[in-house]
Amino acid sequence: MLNASILSIGDEILIGQIQNTNSKWIAEKITQIGCSVKKISSVGDNYNEITSEIDTLLNISDLLIITGGLGPTHDDITKQVLCDYFNDYLVENSEWLEKIRKQFSRRGIQLSKRNQEQALIPKNAKLLYNEIGTAPGMLFANKGKYVISLPGVPQEVYCIMQDEALKFISDVIGATSEDTILYKNIQTAGIAESTLADLLQVDEKLLGKSTLAFLPSFAGVKLRIGAFGNNQFEAKNELERIKSHIISKAKQFIISEDEKSYSQILGELLTRLGKTIAVAESCTGGMLGAEITSVSGSSKYFLGGMQTYSNDVKINNLGVSSAIIDSYGAVSRECAEAMSECIREKLQADIGISITGIAGPEGGTPEKPVGTVYFAISDENKTYSDVKVFSNSREIVRERAVQNAILMLIKLLHSK
């Protein structure tokens, strides 16, 4: 197994100004190809602190991936730190200079001296091409240890990792015959954790040195296989073996065999069935439509919808009967059902789906506390509805409501 660590550099991380999404993304990608991540850390733009952390991390890992500190301003010191760390010196890389020169001329801007310095690369480092930005990635190899230095901008990290670094890391892993763990997630829905465990009959004989984690969330239990092998090939076989076992035992509860979002799973189902949908949202204010259309190509099945935040809009524009709102309130099963039926009809969709609830922090009552959300799905035959009471913050109530609505529709379509 290739032991790896991830280091992010930047004061903005330490003061909590930005969410460090790079580390999570890198950890996920390199774990998938067989690295074992030992430690993830962040330090500020400080020469000694960066040097000391590189030392610590290289002590416990074969591969260190660093993000940040490669920009053109005075606080960007990663390149100098690495140069000193590896007793290297900077030389101008003519290919890179040409690339940024062209980049600037396309934008009609003069290449400043400061930006020109982005083409200075440590002599013994390999340049990793960066399609988007002015700083390239760099790869240092020294005494069996590898350091990959990347810019801090997430899009540039994704780009360099996908175009260059992941291939390199795979090759290093492939060249060693060391043991490997491969991970895979299988998403289930509609079955409790303990019932699923009984059904799968997980034991020593099934797992050997591999692992199977049960990760329950409000939306179902995710199974994480960690397949162990003495090399990549063996680990892949183990993964297939354990996956087949799970599928044979729990097929009817599996909604995805890949790491897919609910909106992707929904999109595939709707595309396969050739159905169109429309949404009517109250407390989520558009989040359901936003989530469904986060999938590229969703225009094939998503027609549109209405954000009916006020009761007037529910009645006058969507067409919910005012008697329903007067009798049951806007947050009610009856209102949700009417919303899904009205939007389906209005937009001439095959399926209408609605959400109405109390996201909070205000507006709750003893009968309908904050977090109460009603859902309805209407198709050519029937209207289905449900209610959930979520806890926690406004943000989480809304997020859970959206995921629950999509899951409800997935389950319904799955049974078709």
Per CB under 8 A, which of residues 259..318 are in contact with a copy of itself? 279, 281, 283-290, 292-294, 296-299, 302-310, 312-313, 317
Out of 105, 112, 155, 177, the residue judged to bind a copy of itself by CB under 8 A: 155
The answer to whether 341 and 266 are in contact (CB under 8 A) is no
The answer to whether 65 and 92 are in contact (CB under 8 A) is no
User: If binding is defined by CB under 8 A, does position 37 make contact with a copy of itself?
Assistant: yes
- Please, what is the minimum distance in Å from the beta carbon of residue 122 to a copy of itself? 25
Q: State how far the Cα of 411 lies from the Cα of 301, in Å rounded to an integer.
A: 17
Tell me which residues in 211-270 interact with a copy of itself (CB under 8 A).
215, 224
Out of 1, 33, 49, 321, the residue judged to bind a copy of itself by CB under 8 A: 49
Q: State how far the Cα of 152 lies from the Cα of 68, in Å rounded to an integer.
A: 4
- Please, what is the minimum distance in Å from the beta carbon of residue 354 to a copy of itself? 13
User: If binding is defined by CB under 8 A, does position 395 make contact with a copy of itself?
Assistant: yes
Cα–Cα distance list, 237 to 200, 223, 226 (Å): 19, 18, 12
User: If binding is defined by CB under 8 A, does position 21 make contact with a copy of itself?
Assistant: yes
C-alpha closest to that of 168 among 135, 131, 141: 141
54-90 b/e (C-beta count within 10 Å ≥ 16 → b): beebbeebbbbbbbbbbbeeeebbbbebbbebbebee
Residue 220, number of CB atoms within 10 A of its CB: 24
Cα–Cα distance list, 79 to 5, 74, 148, 183, 186 (Å): 18, 12, 11, 33, 41
Tell me which residues in 355-374 interact with a copy of itself (CB under 8 A).
359-362
Q: Beta strands 277-281 and 351-357: pairing type?
A: parallel
Out of 20, 93, 210, 354, the residue judged to bind a copy of itself by CB under 8 A: 20
Tell me which residues in 169-208 interact with a copy of itself (CB under 8 A).
183, 185
C-alpha closest to that of 67 among 85, 52, 45: 45
- Please, what is the minimum distance in Å from the beta carbon of residue 415 to a copy of itself? 26
Q: How many residues sit close enough to a copy of itself to count as binding (CB under 8 A)? A: 78
- Please, what is the minimum distance in Å from the beta carbon of residue 361 to a copy of itself? 6
The answer to whether 225 and 188 are in contact (CB under 8 A) is no
Q: State how far the Cα of 202 lies from the Cα of 340, in Å rounded to an integer.
A: 42
Q: Which is nearer to a copy of itself, 91 or 215 (CB)?
A: 215
- Please, what is the minimum distance in Å from the beta carbon of residue 74 to a copy of itself? 11
Q: Which is nearer to a copy of itself, 199 or 303 (CB)?
A: 303
> In sequence order, what are the beta bridge partners of 212?
225
How is residue 397 annotated by DSSP? H
CA 384 to chain centre: 30
CB contact set of 83 (below 8 Å; sequence gap of 6+): 89, 90, 122
Q: Which is nearer to a copy of itself, 107 or 205 (CB)?
A: 107
Q: From 142-150, 197-205, 238-246, 387-395, give the range in contact with a copy of itself by CB under 8 A.
A: 387-395
Out of 396, 411, 412, 414, the residue judged to bind a copy of itself by CB under 8 A: 396
DSSP letters for 168-207: HHHHHHHHS---EEEEEEEEE-SS-HHHHHHHHT--HHHH
Q: From 39-47, 77-85, 238-246, 371-379, give the range in contact with a copy of itself by CB under 8 A.
A: 39-47
- Please, what is the minimum distance in Å from the beta carbon of residue 191 to a copy of itself? 19
- Please, what is the minimum distance in Å from the beta carbon of residue 118 to a copy of itself? 18
- Please, what is the minimum distance in Å from the beta carbon of residue 88 to a copy of itself? 26
Q: What does the radius of gyration of the chain's CA atoms come to, in whole angstroms? A: 26
- Please, what is the minimum distance in Å from the beta carbon of residue 220 to a copy of itself? 15
Tell me which residues in 50-79 interact with a copy of itself (CB under 8 A).
53, 56
User: If binding is defined by CB under 8 A, does position 18 make contact with a copy of itself?
Assistant: yes
- Please, what is the minimum distance in Å from the beta carbon of residue 213 to a copy of itself? 8
Q: Which is nearer to a copy of itself, 155 or 252 (CB)?
A: 155
